[in-house]
């Protein structure tokens, strides 16, 4: 495996939620420990399940893993770290600055940027304090800091003075106000991260276009600030040998191999490994030790293999460098896959997406917002809901802020009663920055303006700018259906709903800020006007992240109307019996997460099957609704 060849002292694993960062980090720690190396495994994931993976309590202190010689673990609690960070920032100014300003700082410090920096604050000691980690040869981090965090920590300037002068109460400048005393430690940590002799960053992705695009973005962002020692691990690749056993397995292989054949150019040069999809949950030592056993380094000729041809699809296995390589060619033998009937399970009732749309359509108009982490299929489901409503003769405006702009590709056509728009995050953010610099920047000196410009490069700025654009579309929901894909986060909504001096500042002193932002928030908080659908997958990490999103929304006064569990193998089994043992096992595993959604998280939910054909185009989107039209009965026992 490339990513574990001659490993440096620090290994960082990063990637989108649900790609398997924690499992790979844990398995890597086990392998290095088995080689006799002393290893510390550190998690900075807010929804860390490292303890669950090892079957033990870990927590925010270094804990030896009893059953594994040479291995210890630590779970940094980002929320606890963020609270301690907030206390350290706010306490010195309480009673010094006006109470309204202090409340504004506290609200601003409730955001994701603060949590991110606070977590970094916790583990910088692990990077810089040799005495603290002297007992360990390798420190493995599950979830690396983002490029945004590192850029913030590299910023020069006297942040405390800036705040005391009354200029630092805007957006993301607040967290930076407390960094001055620790600048030397942070600089040493950033230097360690950028040193290829001590640090290796491992990008984890799936063989899916969306996660590979995210890996490319992360690669470019980190490389731009000097973190160039990067490796790529493509996790959960469907085993080729199972493609001939059932049509759904063959379709999954076809999609994955097409995504790998179109690997983004920036990733092609990285040392790359592929890990096969496993039929079992990666919990427990035995399971983790099997994760890396079938890893295959990917050589350049394999990555550049032929991925297209002419005629009908066919699957064949070629030999290249002594390994089986799945190649997309063209013939008609794809249709000759034998199917043996398997018995369908039947005990856990699973409502359908079609039933949810029936309830939505009954209102005649309104706002439907689909939220969720990347890679769960929000765009596809938003398009499916919009197409179904339009097919029923209802006026629909479908809008997205998806940076990848693949909504048009998903629709691949037009439909009467349906209008489509795309909000370009880059364009609206640049417009927003220009407005803010013209209004507030004019009152600042050169140093203050430089800090404001850096502040306006934060993710919070994009969220607010996109919400501004969304808020203009929201007004249409009074007379038609507005279906919105890639909605703002709960943190953004909290910022926009804030009152007093901080609210006026966060909307950057725009003349109509109060009317422009509060009214859309009131609409979002009104369940009679807005239905929020949280999209997730029937897997542990996506469900945990969806639950966290729901909690964020509830803090903002928004109660999700329903959950949608997308791409479910268990639901697919109700349409077409599965013959692939791997798919059968994964269907059984999914039932645990489906039950968790049904019993703990959602007041109502729908289950959407993983389909053989990707739901691209109006006809297939409508077919998705038909395939998910009847409630499924899923066994929760097998």
- Partners of residue 94 on adjacent β-strands: 97
Does 273 qualify as catalytic in the annotation?
no
Name the one residue in this structure whose structure tokens are 């996660």: 211
Q: Is 499 a catalytic residue?
A: no
Whether 368 and 531 have beta carbons less than 8 Å apart is answered as: yes
Let me know if 22 is a catalytic residue.
yes
Task: Choose, from 15, 16, 23, 612, the residue flagged as catalytic.
Answer: 23
Torsion of CA 118, 119, 122, 127, to 10 degrees: -120
Active site residue 552: no
With beta carbons less than 8 A apart as the criterion, state whether 460 and 116 touch. no
| Marked catalytic residue, from 14, 15, 17, 21 | 21
Of the residues 15, 17, 20, 441, only one is catalytic, namely: 20
Give DSSP secondary structure letters for 296-347: EEE-HHHHT-----SSSEEEEEEEETTEEEEEEEE-SGGG-------PPP-S
- Known active-site residue 20: yes
Q: Considering the candidates 18, 157, 178, 372, report the single residue annotated as catalytic.
A: 18
23 catalytically annotated: yes
**Token pair in block for residue 264:** 């983004």
Spatial distance between the Cα atoms of 595 and 521, rounded to a whole number of angstroms: 32
Contact call for residues 613 and 251 (beta carbons, < 8 A): yes
Catalytic residue among 541, 572, 579, 580, which? Answer: 541
| Per-residue burial over 37-48, b = 16 or more CB atoms within 10 Å of its CB, e = otherwise | ebbbbbbbbbbb
Among the options 14, 45, 211, 272, which is catalytic? 45
How far are the Cα atoms of 122, 143, 223, 308, 425 from residue 147, in angstroms, in the given order? 17, 12, 9, 36, 18
Q: Which residues contact 501 (CB under 8 A, 6 or more apart)?
A: 98, 100, 101, 103, 104, 169
Q: For the chain, give me the number of helices (H) and strands (E)? A: 27, 20
Catalytic annotation, pick one of 14, 22, 124, 128: 22
21 labelled catalytic: yes
By annotation, the residues acting in catalysis are 18, 20-23, 45, 541
């Amino acid at each position: 495996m490339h990513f574990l060849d001659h490993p440096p002292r620090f290994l960082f694993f990063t990637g989108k939620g649900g790609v398997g960062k924690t499992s790979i980090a844990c398995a890597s720690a086990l392998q290095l420990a088995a080689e006799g190396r002393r290893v510390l495994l550190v998690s900075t994931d807010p929804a860390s399940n490292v303890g669950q993976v090892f079957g033990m309590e870990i927590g925010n202190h270094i804990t030896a893993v009893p059953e594994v010689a040479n291995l210890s673990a630590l779970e940094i609690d980002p929320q606890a770290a963020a609270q301690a960070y907030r206390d350290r920032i706010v306490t010195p100014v309480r009673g010094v600055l006006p109470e309204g300003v202090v409340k504004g700082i506290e609200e601003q410090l409730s955001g994701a940027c603060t949590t991110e920096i606070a977590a970094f604050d916790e583990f910088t000691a692990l990077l810089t304090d040799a005495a603290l980690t002297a007992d360990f040869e390798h420190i493995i981090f599950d979830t690396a800091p983002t490029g945004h965090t590192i850029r913030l920590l590299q910023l020069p300037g006297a942040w405390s003075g800036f705040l005391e002068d009354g200029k630092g109460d805007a957006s993301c400048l607040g967290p930076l106000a407390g960094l001055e005393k620790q600048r030397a430690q942070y600089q040493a940590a950033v230097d360690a991260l950028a040193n290829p002799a001590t640090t290796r960053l491992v990008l984890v992705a799936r063989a899916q276009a969306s996660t590979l695009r995210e890996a490319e973005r992360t690669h470019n962002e980190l490389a731009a600030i000097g973190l160039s020692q990067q490796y790529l691990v493509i996790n959960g690749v469907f085993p080729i040998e199972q493609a001939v056993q059932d049509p759904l397995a063959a379709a999954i292989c076809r999609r994955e191999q097409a995504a790998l054949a179109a690997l983004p150019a920036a990733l092609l040069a990285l040392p790359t490994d592929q890990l096969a999809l496993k039929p079992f949950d990666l919990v427990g030592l035995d399971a983790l030790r099997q994760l890396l056993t079938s890893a295959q380094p990917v050589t350049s000729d394999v990555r550049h293999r032929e991925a297209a041809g002419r005629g009908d699809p066919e699957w064949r296995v070629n030999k290249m460098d002594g390994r089986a390589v799945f190649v997309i060619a063209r013939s008609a033998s794809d249709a000759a896959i034998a199917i043996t009937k398997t018995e369908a399970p039947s005990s856990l009732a699973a409502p359908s997406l079609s039933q949810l749309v029936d309830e939505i359509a009954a209102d005649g108009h309104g706002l439907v917002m689909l939220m969720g982490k990347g890679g769960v299929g929000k765009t596809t489901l938003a398009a499916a809901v919009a197409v179904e409503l339009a097919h029923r003769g209802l006026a629909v405006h479908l809008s997205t802020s998806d940076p990848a702009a693949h909504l048009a590709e998903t629709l691949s056509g037009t439909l009467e009663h349906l209008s489509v728009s795309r909000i370009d995050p880059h364009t609206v953010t640049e417009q927003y920055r220009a407005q803010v610099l013209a209004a507030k920047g004019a009152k600042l000196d050169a140093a203050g303006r430089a800090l404001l410009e850096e502040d306006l490069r934060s993710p919070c700025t994009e969220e607010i700018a996109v919400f501004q654009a969304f808020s203009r579309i929201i007004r249409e929901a009074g007379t038609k259906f507005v279906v919105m894909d890639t909605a703002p986060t709960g943190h953004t909504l909290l910022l926009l709903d804030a009152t007093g001096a901080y609210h006026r500042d966060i909307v950057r002193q725009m003349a109509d800020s109060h009317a422009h932002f509060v009214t859309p928030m009131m609409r979002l908080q009104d369940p009679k006007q807005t239905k929020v659908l949280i999209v997730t997958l029937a897997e542990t990490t996506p469900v945990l992240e969806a639950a966290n999103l729901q909690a964020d929304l509830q803090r903002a006064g928004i109660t999700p109307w329903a959950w949608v569990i997308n791409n479910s193998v268990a639901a697919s089994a109700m349409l077409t019996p599965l013959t692939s043992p791997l798919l059968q096992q994964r269907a059984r595993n999914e039932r645990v997460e489906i039950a968790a959604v049904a019993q703990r998280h959602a007041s109502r939910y729908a289950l959407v099957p993983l389909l053989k054909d990707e739901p691209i185009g109006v006809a297939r989107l409508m077919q998705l609704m038909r395939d998910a039209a009847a409630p499924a009965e899923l066994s929760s026992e097998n």
